[in-house]
């Protein structure tokens, strides 16, 4: 479980294809891994991965065919910057919102507009996620906990807006987003579970 507060950015240092699966090696930059063990969870661009090998500032993780097909990892290459967050502890203060690291869909940046000192990003999302996304609700984009400013959902046009403040731009990979950049989306867990409960009645 994560909070959606990115702790640092790193990069992909190697990708090794293993049939339909891939092994990724991640450089964690300023993030030290001395407090983490093999098997621990870490969020990379919002995807919960398990550490299978580690050094002081790098770790390896295996990504299955399923994970590659449902996330942006199938399009990422060596050298690309990534968002990183270690799994939360029960004693941690939750400054973002509860994020599971299980991606619900891949979105795409379709607009980017300066608004005062922040930048408003408009992100297109898969239509099947529409019922889980609401104005002023929580959403995770590449692991970043955000608040939805506005949402449009009609035939052929399913988008939401988020405003990114300078601190978040500087501390995450949002600074590198351009039109058509693909992003991992995780909807609010409460909305997801409420829908399941209602559907089962």
pLDDT digits (tens, 9 = 90+) for 106-134: 999 999 999 999 999 999 999 999 999 99
Domains plus CATH for the chain?
Answer: 8-86 (2.40.30.20), 105-199 (2.40.30.20)
- The predicted structure's pLDDT at residue 201: 63
pLDDT of residue 95: 76
What is the per-residue burial (b if ≥16 Cβ within 10 Å, else e) of 38-67? eeebbbbbbbbbebeebeeebbbbebeeeb
Place 104 in a pLDDT band, splitting at 50, 70 and 90.
very high
Q: From CA 4, how far away is CA 44, in angstroms rounded?
A: 11
* Partners of 61 in the β-ladder: 24
Asked whether the predicted pLDDT for residue 7 surpasses 90, the reply is yes
pLDDT tens per residue across span 18-42: 888 999 999 999 999 999 999 999 9
Q: What is the mean pLDDT of residues 141-161?
A: 93
Q: Which residue has the tokens 């065919």?
A: 65
Check whether 194 has a pLDDT greater than 80: no
- pTM for this structure? 0.93
Q: How far apart are alpha carbons 14 and 172 in whole angstroms?
A: 21
């Amino acid at each position: 479980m994560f909070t959606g507060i990115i702790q640092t950015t790193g990069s992909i240092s190697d990708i090794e294809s293993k049939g339909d699966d891939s092994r990724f090696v991640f450089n964690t930059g300023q993030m030290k891994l001395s407090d983490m063990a093999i098997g621990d969870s870490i969020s990379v661009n919002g995807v919960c991965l398990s550490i299978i090998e580690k050094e002081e500032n790098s770790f390896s993780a295996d990504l299955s065919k399923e994970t590659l097909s449902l996330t942006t990892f199938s399009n990422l290459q060596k050298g690309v910057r990534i968002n990183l967050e270690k799994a939360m502890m029960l004693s941690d203060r939750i400054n973002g919102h509860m994020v599971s690291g299980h991606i619900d869909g891949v979105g795409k940046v379709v607009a980017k507009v300066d608004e005062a000192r922040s930048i408003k990003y408009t992100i297109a999302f898969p239509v099947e996620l529409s019922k889980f996304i609401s104005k002023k609700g929580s959403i995770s984009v590449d692991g970043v906990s955000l608040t939805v400013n506005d949402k449009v959902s009609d035939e052929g046009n399913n988008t939401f807006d988020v405003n990114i403040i300078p601190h978040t731009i500087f501390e995450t990979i949002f600074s590198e987003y351009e039109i058509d950049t693909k992003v991992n989306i995780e909807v609010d867990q409460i909305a997801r579970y409420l829908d399941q409960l209602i559907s089962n009645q």
